Amino acid sequence: MDYHYELPKELIAQEPAHPRSSSRLMVLSSGIEHRVFSDLPQYLRKGDVLVINNTKVLPFRLSGRKTTGGRVEVTLLKELSPRTWRCMVKGKVGMGARIFINGSEAEITREKDREFTIRFTKSDPWKLIDEQGTAPLPPYIKNKVSLDQYQTVYAEVPGSVAAPTAGLHFTPELLRRIREKGVEIARITLHVGPGTFLPVRAEEIRDHRMEPEYFFIDEKNAETINAADRVIAVGTTTVKALESASKNGVLRPCSGWSSLLIYPPYTFRSRIHGLLTNFHLPGSTLLMLVSAYAGWDRILRAYKEAVKRRYRFYSFGDAMLILKCS
């Protein structure tokens, strides 16, 4: 299976819904329902635990110019040493290219498979990130969007190069309503890494190499999740963290790096009774994970229905709630 589907370009959302909870919600259970995201509490009940990823996106995108004057955009991915980073570059550059960022200078020192290594010759990259950085938006988003718009309302722990986008639909008011139903909210952390931008190029899915992503689950939240009547995971990043730390349905408090690749057929290690997720790119590892949870045929039917009904797709798009039938 290639996990592809047809999507008209005009359905790729270019900005978040306003208010956030006004986005649409497809509910996939024994059938398909079409709701609004603010209806989510109707599908939750006392004893549920909603598990959210509280990672915070850092402004890793820097704008600069080459010696020729041509504009480039550098998205920093991973710090290799105090002044050297892995990065992606939008604009034509090669080995030895010099890039000027607001008076600071950097040099491309390595290029492989459309990924680069950049070395900052004088300035502190972290200072540049703090003073000049902007939201590292996916390439399919063409509109100007602030970092705040690309951040969940519960973002706390800095470290991601991309947002856990299923959480972008929540507002403080909606979270309050969810708590009032007797639903507990557990917070775990998985820093979304550069792998979220990378397509699957391997002929066999099992040969695709996932970028390691750091995750952390403390004892208090692990206990809350283990005691849940139902676990509702917000986003594929939350699923990945739960799967990386679970065995036989029991979640362990731990931290580490996960390179877990989830695709059908897959036996889940954690107790996940529901998955809240956005509509993902064709052929992506995120779509494969969702298919492993719900079944590719079922997901494909839902996606075709979403296209027919003009749902909004990808990072700023609408949401899907997948519930296990019980």
**Residue 122's CATH number:** 2.40.10.240
Q: Which of 158, 160, 103 is nearest to 128 (CA)?
A: 103
* pLDDT at position 209: 80
Is 58 within 8 Å of 69 (Cβ atoms)?
no
Q: Does 192 lie in the same domain as 163?
A: yes
Q: Does 284 lie in the same domain as 203?
A: yes
134-145 pLDDT, tens digit each = 999 988 999 989
Is 240 within 8 Å of 262 (Cβ atoms)?
yes
Q: Does 42 lie in the same domain as 90?
A: no
Phi and psi torsions of 268, nearest 5°: -75, 140
Q: Does 94 lie in the same domain as 48?
A: no
237-273 pLDDT, tens digit each = 999 999 999 999 999 999 999 999 999 999 999 999 9
- Which residues of the chain carry a pLDDT beneath 70? 196-199, 325-326
Q: Does 248 lie in the same domain as 234?
A: yes
Q: What is the value of pTM for the model shown? A: 0.93
* pLDDT at position 57: 97
Q: Does 35 lie in the same domain as 101?
A: no
Q: How many domains does the chain have?
A: 2
Q: Does 292 lie in the same domain as 217?
A: yes
In a domain, 195, yes or no: yes
* pLDDT at position 205: 79
Q: Does 37 lie in the same domain as 166?
A: yes
* pLDDT at position 326: 55
Q: Does 306 lie in the same domain as 230?
A: yes
Residue 120 lies in domain: 61-132
Is 190 within 8 Å of 86 (Cβ atoms)?
no
What sign for the dihedral angle of Cα 282, 8, 316, 166? negative
Q: Does 116 lie in the same domain as 52?
A: no
Q: Does 274 lie in the same domain as 162?
A: yes
As beta bridge partners, residue 190 has 215
- Three-state secondary structure of 211-257: CCEEEEECHHHHHHHHCCCEEEEECHHHHHHHHHCEECCEECCEEEE
Q: Does 46 lie in the same domain as 76?
A: no
